[in-house]
Amino acid sequence: MPASVSLPAFAGPLATLRWDDGQASVEEPILEQARALDRFLASIEKRAFRMARIALRHDEDALDSVQDAMLQLARRYGRRPTEEWRPLFYRILQNRIRDCQRRRRVQARIMAWLPGLKAQEDEATADQYAAVPDRAPLPSEQLAADQAMQMLERSLAELPGRQQEAFMLRVFEGLDVAQTAAAMGCSEGSVKTHYSRAVHTLREQVGVAW
């Protein structure tokens, strides 16, 4: 009998994996690979979502991008050495983010010609969870941190795409220059240039307020 465990989705790593326990239907190397991938994705998924959210400024689009990146990584690069996963994952994610931004620009152009549709579209895509409170009231320190982060997010969102990517991958994800270059698909020199410009701009905009 397949051990199909239907625990809540947030119950933890491997909680909903459906392996045929004891029947050896899934070879040990595959199982080990799945466990390694599970650990890797669990370690980066929240940061990846936040970075996608900062770039796209939309929860659902950010979730879709992260999910696509996870699937692509598992499908195409799951058998690659684990140390290659991180730059590969972020490369896929950055491509998804760019695709989404491109799609939005096209939609915006179409909507500009069809103003009647815009209102309908906005109503259709309204977030049904937007009004649901999900945390307790924040203490004043937390509020200050939130405001500082919001300021950083706004400034990051205004940066050119490549500068934004370089900053987030280097600072938020902690990739080194070579890994960032692999994730961005450019040279290490370009990474240094983008990163230095991003830091300069952000420091001017939010550094003083902090």
Instruction: Provide the binding-site residues for other proteins, judged by CB under 8 A.
Output: 8-11, 14-19, 26-27, 30, 33-34, 37-38, 41-42, 45-47, 49-50, 59, 63, 66-67, 70-71, 73-75, 78, 129, 132, 134-135, 145-146, 148-149, 152, 170-172, 174, 199, 202-203, 207, 210
Kindly state the smallest distance separating residue 163's Cβ from other proteins, in Å.
Answer: 14
- Of 67 and 120, which CB lies nearer to other proteins in the complex structure? 67
Kindly state the smallest distance separating residue 84's Cβ from other proteins, in Å.
Answer: 16
Kindly state the smallest distance separating residue 67's Cβ from other proteins, in Å.
Answer: 4
Closest Cα to residue 29, out of 75, 78, 77?
78
- Of 19 and 118, which CB lies nearer to other proteins in the complex structure? 19
Crossing angle (nearest 10°) for helices 85-113 and 115-124: 140
Instruction: Please provide residue 23's backbone torsions phi and psi, each rounded to the nearest 5 degrees.
Output: -105, 0
Closest Cα to residue 44, out of 202, 138, 183, 201?
183
Radius of gyration of the chain (CA): 20
Kindly state the smallest distance separating residue 134's Cβ from other proteins, in Å.
Answer: 4
Burial classification of residue 8, based on how many CB atoms lie within 10 Å of its CB (0-12 exposed, 13-18 middle, 19 or more buried): exposed
